[in-house]
């Protein structure tokens, strides 16, 4: 999947300045960049929700995209279960729903309405809905942000499992270097003004078993921090 020379303005303000990016299929692609650099805007363009841009997007089938938005977009008048079924037009295997629901600690909340849930639980419903959607491309916008440490770990474990089992191509946006290193097979770093380029790295410390050594990770972190500094 290829994104070529994307240029995006809001009024007079140039947000994306000829951004190009290769999204590696069946891999976790992380876009890392500071707040406000245009990560969400790029996801909206890729998802086809924002059509007001210049440039090209090749190899993406829109109806096969699952999108975990930064804010949860749940239908308040439907139960958790019905939110999930509705998004996938009912094409969800009950067994998978129960299995993933359990892994996310949502078993007892499936009949609840979103308004009866805490922010963290709502975010888990948001993720469950996306994991169950029949997608080949999964777009995730700061999806683990509002979760506590324990829940975050369980959610990430399920995410890694689903990605592998379903051979999903993932494009995950974050401003957390830690998260990028933990999750990304490929890390695309958004430099800040004035160049706003994306540089791609193969993550040498990626391992779904999470066995990278801390010293190695530290040196990679420092390398990346140095680079971001130079660009900014």
Ligand X SMILES: Nc1ncnc2c1ncn2[C@@H]1O[C@H](COP(=O)(O)OP(=O)(O)OP(=O)(O)O)[C@@H](O)[C@H]1O
Measured from the CB atom, the residue of 67 and 109 that comes closer to ligand X is: 67
Measured from the CB atom, the residue of 157 and 176 that comes closer to ligand X is: 176
| Rounded Cα–Cα distance for residues 133 and 127 (Å) | 10
- Distance from CA of residue 61 to its chain's centroid? 17
Segment interacting with ligand X, rule: CB under 6 A, options 33-41, 94-102, 155-163, 201-209:
33-41
Measured from the CB atom, the residue of 12 and 215 that comes closer to ligand X is: 12
Cβ contact 97:132 at 8 Å: yes
Is 188 near ligand X (CB under 6 A)?
A: no
Single residue of 113, 175, 197, 231 touching ligand X by CB under 6 A: 175
Is 191 near ligand X (CB under 6 A)?
A: no
Single residue of 27, 29, 41, 169 touching ligand X by CB under 6 A: 41
Q: Min. distance of Cβ 25 from ligand X in angstroms? A: 24
Judged by CB under 6 A, how many residues of this single chain contact ligand X? 11
| Rounded Cα–Cα distance for residues 42 and 106 (Å) | 31
| Rounded Cα–Cα distance for residues 22 and 37 (Å) | 18
Q: Compute the residue count for the chain.
A: 232
Q: Supply the DSSP string of 138-181, one letter for each residue.
A: EEEESTTTTS-HHHHHHHHHHHHHHHHHTT-EEEEEES-HHHHH
**65 forms bridges with which residues in the sheet?**
137
Segment interacting with ligand X, rule: CB under 6 A, options 35-43, 125-133, 199-207, 212-220:
35-43
Measured from the CB atom, the residue of 43 and 117 that comes closer to ligand X is: 43
Q: Which of 184, 177, 157, 171 is nearest to 226 (CA)?
A: 177
HSE of 224, CA atoms in CB hemisphere, 13 A: 26
Tokens of 69: 């938005």
Is 37 near ligand X (CB under 6 A)?
A: yes
Footprint (CB under 6 A) of ligand X, residues 2-31: 10, 15
Is 39 near ligand X (CB under 6 A)?
A: yes
Is 56 near ligand X (CB under 6 A)?
A: no
Segment interacting with ligand X, rule: CB under 6 A, options 32-40, 107-115, 178-186, 219-227:
32-40
**13 forms bridges with which residues in the sheet?**
10
Q: Min. distance of Cβ 174 from ligand X in angstroms? A: 8
Give the interface with ligand X as residue ranges (CB under 6 A). Answer: 10, 15, 33, 35-41, 175
């Amino acid at each position: 999947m290829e994104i070529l020379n994307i240029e995006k303005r809001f009024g007079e303000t140039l947000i994306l300045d000829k951004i190009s990016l290769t999204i590696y299929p069946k891999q976790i692609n992380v876009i890392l960049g500071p707040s406000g650099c245009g990560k969400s805007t790029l996801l909206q363009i890729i998802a086809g929700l924002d059509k007001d841009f210049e440039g090209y997007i090749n190899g993406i089938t829109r109806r096969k995209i699952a999108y975990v938005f930064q804010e949860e977009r749940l239908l308040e008048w439907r139960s958790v279960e019905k939110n999930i079924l509705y998004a996938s037009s009912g094409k969800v295997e009950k067994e998978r729903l129960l299995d993933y629901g359990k892994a996310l600690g949502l078993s007892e909340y499936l009949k609840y309405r979103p308004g009866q849930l805490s922010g963290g639980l709502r975010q888990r419903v948001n993720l469950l809905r996306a994991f169950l959607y029949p997608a080949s491309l999964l777009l995730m916008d700061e999806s683990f942000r509002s979760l506590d440490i324990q829940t975050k770990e369980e959610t990430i474990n399920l995410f890694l499992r689903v990605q592998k089992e379903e051979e999903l191509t993932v494009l995950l946006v974050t401003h957390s270097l830690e998260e990028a290193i933990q999750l990304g097979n490929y890390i695309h770093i958004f430099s800040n003004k004035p160049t706003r380029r994306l540089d791609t790295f193969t993550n040498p410390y990626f391992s779904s078993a999470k066995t990278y050594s801390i010293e190695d990770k530290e040196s990679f972190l420092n390398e990346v921090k140095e680079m971001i500094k130079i660009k900014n």
